Amino acid sequence: MSDLTNLTLESALTGMASGDFSSEEITRAHIDACMEAADLNAFITTTFEQAMDMAKASDARRAKGEVGKLEGAPLGVKDLFCTEGVKTTAASQILGDFKPPYESTVSANMKADGMVMLGKLNLDEFAMGSSNETSSYGNVVNPWKNGEELVPGGSSGGSAAAVAADICLGATATDTGGSIRQPASFTGTVGIKPTYGRCSRWGIVAFASSLDQAGPIAKTVKDSAILLDSMAGYDPKDSTSLNVDNGDWVNSCGKSIKGLRIGIPKEYTVDGMPTEIQSLWDQGIEWMKDAGAEIVPVSLPHTKYALPAYYIVAPAEASSNLARYDGMRYGARVDGENLNDTYERTRAAGFGPEVQRRIMIGTYVLSAGYYDAYYLRAQKVRTRISEDFKNAWENCDALLTPTCPSAPFAIGRKLNDPITMYLNDIFTVTANLAGLPGISVPAALDQDGLPLGLQIIGKALDEDTVFAAAGALEKAANFTAKPKKWWV
């Protein structure tokens, strides 16, 4: 039998449907691949025994004619999604050995659709980071290498690395400022953040509630549509969940984009951006033209203010969300001289430096006398950014931009310079602030042989157009490169 780990999710589902192999067989192949790839440190917790049980149960269901959207597919789950009875860490020490007594809505949807869960994937601590280096379970190594070891991006670095390395058919991820799309770009995978409210946030460890949104990382655009179709849907347990139907996403992937108006925002050219990324963007424009799209120059004048606004809004919401970790009801506790001292020592020991930095920034910008100057102003700037997009939609249907201002960088290079690290998200964060869908599609290798992605941003709830444009981009780019399996 050919190597079952090289398959896409789509072909794996077809292969199981036509009886070419069972879920048990493809799950076993992925478990073996996961074990060989331990050096990537993509997993925090593996659940191989449960996975084999889930695979057998899936094969039994299939024998009875019960076939879900993800039936029998071995997938990974970012360790930010609570999974019943399976340790959930958010890559932080503060959660100790927390085993949720409940299941996140997104992972519950996927299990109901037949997912086989291989384990919980590594990430930046509380999803705060762009390189997976803030994880208290160690950094993830990018399967793509350039002599030295590179970061896989973040915060969904484990998800992206696992999919790129063919050790999971696909994975869940979350995106607060770029945490799905930037690692997808860094690893030659596809990642989509849907419209805010598509995926329930219930049971996902909260970072910045008005920005957090779940989505998949996958091998192809169509695989990402298959996964999102399972993950998304209305959930009364999340008051921001949208009560709207999923689109016809899987079929949209192959749709013609003839006559589609693709906007090119002039502000997405930044100082110091490698010329290769500019040329790839130009190439992308040509590809869209060749596919019949009309190219429209647009302006999003408040783009440069998106990151500073994000670094007020996100830490402010994080400081509030992370107040719950007090060592009393769950997680680790460090005893102090009195109650307050216990809180302070528990939190100082449990949170890493980046998380502490963001909690303090957030506490400061929300504190008496500064709320108007920082938080309120940032929320108004956010309105301006949202208006920019609304104006652009007068003249176009979707936008084409680079996903990131750089290719993957070496481990340790940006860790001590927070602002340089934050700049990774310059092209992705605007979609979070405005709540819009965005997808990263692998488009080319740079001169060092490292993957680069292009991003499509769409109108709210218009994932159908996003998938159509991404499908056209994927077809034109014909990105077939794979990292060399140096870890085997």
Site for another protein in 288-317 (CB under 8 A): 302, 304-305, 308-309, 311-312
One of 107, 130, 159, 179 is an active-site residue; which one?
179
Decide if residue 374 touches another protein (CB under 8 A): yes
CA distance 486 to 482: 12
- Quick check: is 367 catalytic? no
One of 69, 78, 219, 459 is an active-site residue; which one?
78
Q: Are 159 and 192 in contact (CB under 8 A)?
A: no
Residue closer to another protein by CB (options 304, 475) is: 304
CA distance 225 to 438: 13
- Total binding residues for another protein by CB under 8 A? 73
Residue closer to another protein by CB (options 268, 375) is: 375
Decide if residue 393 touches another protein (CB under 8 A): no
Question: Among residues 471, 468, 418, 461, which one has the least CA distance to residue 441?
Answer: 471
Q: How far is the CB of 395 from another protein (least distance, A)?
A: 22
Element (H, E) at 294: strand 294-298
Q: Which residue has the tokens 């997405």?
A: 268
Question: 323: Cβ–Cβ under 8 A, 6 or more apart, which residues?
Answer: none
Q: Which of residues 410-429 bind another protein (CB under 8 A)?
A: 418-419
CA distance 109 to 100: 17
- Quick check: is 78 catalytic? yes
Decide if residue 347 touches another protein (CB under 8 A): yes
Q: Are 99 and 55 in contact (CB under 8 A)?
A: no
Question: Applying CB under 8 A, which of residues 21, 137, 287, 351 lies at the interface with another protein?
Answer: 351
**What mask, x for binding another protein by CB under 8 A, covers residues 271 to 290?**
--------------------
Q: Are 242 and 200 in contact (CB under 8 A)?
A: no
One of 131, 136, 155, 230 is an active-site residue; which one?
155
Q: How far is the CB of 167 from another protein (least distance, A)?
A: 29
Question: Among residues 139, 147, 148, which one has the least CA distance to residue 183?
Answer: 139
Decide if residue 174 touches another protein (CB under 8 A): no
Phi-psi region of 168 (alpha: psi -120 to 50; beta: other; left: phi over 0): beta
Piece of the chain touching another protein by CB under 8 A; list 14-22, 26-34, 332-340, 401-409: 332-340
Decide if residue 108 touches another protein (CB under 8 A): no
Q: Are 434 and 389 in contact (CB under 8 A)?
A: yes
Calculate the CA 252 to chain-centre distance: 21
Residue closer to another protein by CB (options 299, 356) is: 356
Question: Applying CB under 8 A, which of residues 9, 82, 164, 461 lies at the interface with another protein?
Answer: 461
Q: Which of residues 37-76 bind another protein (CB under 8 A)?
A: none
Residue closer to another protein by CB (options 69, 347) is: 347
β-bridge partners, 298 = 265
Main-chain phi, psi angles of 162, to 5 degrees: -65, -40
Residue closer to another protein by CB (options 60, 348) is: 348
Decide if residue 240 touches another protein (CB under 8 A): yes
Residue closer to another protein by CB (options 35, 328) is: 328
CA distance 256 to 254: 7
Residue closer to another protein by CB (options 286, 417) is: 417
DSSP of 335-366: --SSHHHHHHHHHHHHS-HHHHHHHHHHHHHH
- Quick check: is 22 catalytic? no
- Active site (catalytic) residues: 78, 155, 179
